[in-house]
A = this chain, B = another copy of it.
Amino acid sequence: MLKNLVSIKDLHKDKILLILMQADYFSKGYRWQPDNQTFIANLFFEPSTRTKSSFEMAERKLGLEVIPFEAGSSSVLKGETLYDTVRTLESLGVDAVVIRHEEDEYYRHLIGKVNIPVINAGDGCGQHPTQSLLDLFTIQQEFGSFEGLKIGIVGDIRHSRVARSDTEALRKLGANVFYSGPKEWFDQDFLYSGEFAAIDDLIPEVDVLMLLRIQHERHNEHTTFSTEEYHELYGLTVEREKRMKPGSIIMHPAPVNRGVEIDDRLVECRRSRIFKQMENGVYVRMAVLKEVLEGRMANEAADQKWQYSL
């Protein structure tokens, strides 16, 4: 059971492994649905196909009622705070909310203040815990265990929610994390034990090559190279793929900039788990939703016990 899921930091290693185990069950056709009609709302204040649709699929597979919420036509336009929006949904009878928001740690306005679980689907440059969990699940599917695995993360480390969340989780589970990409995008304050390496040194060493998306929307101003140059200097070219370790895999959180982070011809190559990651995202989100809804049901039962004992 889980009260909320806002950051991978909050999750003990055992809890992570439990979620991955449940995701594995769901991937094999295991079914779980709450006993009563259960309502959920997905509040996406930033554009998203993948994550939003993935949550929607997970929710429908669990038999949940998904209440539509369009940030663009909501009272947020009238200046309503996020707290008031979520309290409103809680008052209407919504049982849990999934939120993506551009503000770092937006969830501080909610946790301990609203009475329904919050699942973080991405906060500013902060966390994206279900993305981490699906990455972990994909790696576990491939290698069984994390102990001693070498993971290379390449790209805009500093601004990436994925780099941040994944690093914390992978280290917790015993993997070694290395970074590459433009040096100016690697933050010295990014205080993890992982080392920075040149892409060509990294390529033959890692079990998992995790490419990050170049987020044009985030830093047009301080890029000093074209997309072609990026591909040549830091991207996964056809030549580099040939030098990868036997049995190693390629991952990317998507959407992919084809021909930039990775050569167009490699997106669906034998090593690529990019579309597998998307499939796995649904199972992982089912597992998280189950944990959170079971936590809520236990919580409500506890509340009731308390009321009756007066």
Nearest CB of B to A29, in Å: 11
Copies of this chain in its oligomeric complex: 3
Q: Mark A231-269, 1 if CB is under 8 A from B, else 0.
A: 000000000000000000000001111100000000000
A80 to B278, CA, bound (A): 15
Select from chain B the residue with minimum beta-carbon distance to A283.
B93
Q: Is A76 an interface residue (CB 8 A)?
A: yes
Nearest CB of B to A33, in Å: 11
- Interface contact A92-B60, CB-CB below 8 Å: no
Interface hit among A3-11, A81-89, A148-156, A185-193: A81-89
Q: Mark A50-63, 1 if CB is under 8 A from B, else 0.
A: 10011011001100
A76 to B94, CA, bound (A): 29
| Residue count of chain A within 8 Å CB distance of chain B | 53
- Interface contact A80-B255, CB-CB below 8 Å: yes
Given A37-B61, A47-B75, A50-B75, the answer on whether A282 and B81 have CB atoms closer than 8 Å is no
B-contacting residues, A52-108, CB 8 Å = 53-54, 56-57, 60-61, 65, 67-81, 84-85, 87-94
- Interface contact B44-A73, CB-CB below 8 Å: yes
Q: Is A281 an interface residue (CB 8 A)?
A: yes
Nearest CB of B to A139, in Å: 17
- Interface contact B256-A84, CB-CB below 8 Å: yes
25 cross-chain CB contacts under 8 A: A37-B60, A41-B53, A48-B73, A48-B74, A48-B75, A49-B74, A49-B88, A50-B75, A53-B67, A53-B89, A53-B94, A54-B92, A56-B68, A60-B65, A61-B93, A71-B73, A78-B217, A79-B216, A84-B256, A88-B275, A91-B275, A91-B276, A92-B281, A93-B279, A93-B282
- A-to-B contact residues, CB < 8 Å: 37, 39, 41, 44, 47-50, 53-54, 56-57, 60-61, 65, 67-81, 84-85, 87-94, 216-217, 254-258, 275-276, 278-279, 281-282
